[in-house]
């Protein structure tokens, strides 16, 4: 099996706009993104897992593989994820369709998607799908490299979301900040 880094670099060179990162997420960022998850968390959905760094962190925290569902579009990442995590459900589909494929009542949605680089309609579709899946009190966890939330303020207000600005993860290239979104 090809290494995570080799696959990431190859996909970055072939489709930089879709990968939209200069390096794979660090283990430190993965731990920050999955903070609070564990064996009793219930079902978790991941958007844009890439090579599976956040997936690995969730499994390491004790989330059972049968409780994980991944949504990835990339033609090479999907078979790689299926081979690497054979007990995890992997859909080759856009995150905006997740609510059509997963039963509601999800505890957490973890997103590695570059939301700010997407058109507004796609951002809305992804966020709407995530919050249709989530149980009451559930949250969407998203990171960004920039100084502002990874969702425009106007969309946060329109969707009735509360944003918890997490801490900055300096041990990532580039440094990233984790945000947690909930319905108000």
8-state DSSP, 151: S
What does the alpha-carbon distance between residue 32 and residue 42 come to, in Å, rounded to a whole number?
19
Tokens representing 105?
A: 């009542």
User: The domain that contains 138 carries what CATH number?
Assistant: 3.40.50.150
Name residues whose C-beta falls within 8 Å of residue 153's C-beta, 6 or more positions apart in sequence: none
Confidence tier at 111 by pLDDT (50, 70, 90): very high
Its domain, for residue 62, covers 4-183
Q: What is the pLDDT of residue 39?
A: 97
SS (H, E, C) 60-127: HCCCCHHHEEEECCCCCHHHHHHHHCCCCEEECCCHHHHHHHCCCCEEEEEECCCHHHCCHHHHHHHH
Query: Whole-number mean pLDDT of the chain?
Result: 90
Share of the chain above pLDDT 90, in %: 77
pLDDT of residue 20: 56
pLDDT average, residue stretch 89-97: 98
- The mean pLDDT value for 71-86 works out to 95
Cα 154 from Cα 75, distance rounded (Å): 33
What is the domain count for the chain? 1
Q: How confident is the model at residue 19 (pLDDT cuts 50, 70, 90)?
A: very low
| pLDDT tens digits, 23-67 | 678 999 999 999 999 999 999 999 999 999 999 999 999 999 999
């Amino acid at each position: 099996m090809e290494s995570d880094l080799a696959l990431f670099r190859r996909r970055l060179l072939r489709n930089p706009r879709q990968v939209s990162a200069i390096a794979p997420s660090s283990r430190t960022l993965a731990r920050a993104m999955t903070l609070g998850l564990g064996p009793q968390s219930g079902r978790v959905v991941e958007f844009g897992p890439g090579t599976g760094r956040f997936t690995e962190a969730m499994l390491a925290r004790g989330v059972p593989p049968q409780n994980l569902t991944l949504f990835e579009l990339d033609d090479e990442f999907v078979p790689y994820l299926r081979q690497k995590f054979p007990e995890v459900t992997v859909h080759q589909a856009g995150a905006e369709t997740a609510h059509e494929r997963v039963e509601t009542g999800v505890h957490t949605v973890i997103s590695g998607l570059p939301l700010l680089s997407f058109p507004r309609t796609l951002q809305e579709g992804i966020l709407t799908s995530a919050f249709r899946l989530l149980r009451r009190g559930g949250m969407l966890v998203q990171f960004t490299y920039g100084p502002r939330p990874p969702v425009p303020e106007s969309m946060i207000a329109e969707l009735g979301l509360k944003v918890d600005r997490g801490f900055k993860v300096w041990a990532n290239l580039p440094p990233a900040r984790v945000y947690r979104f909930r319905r108000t």
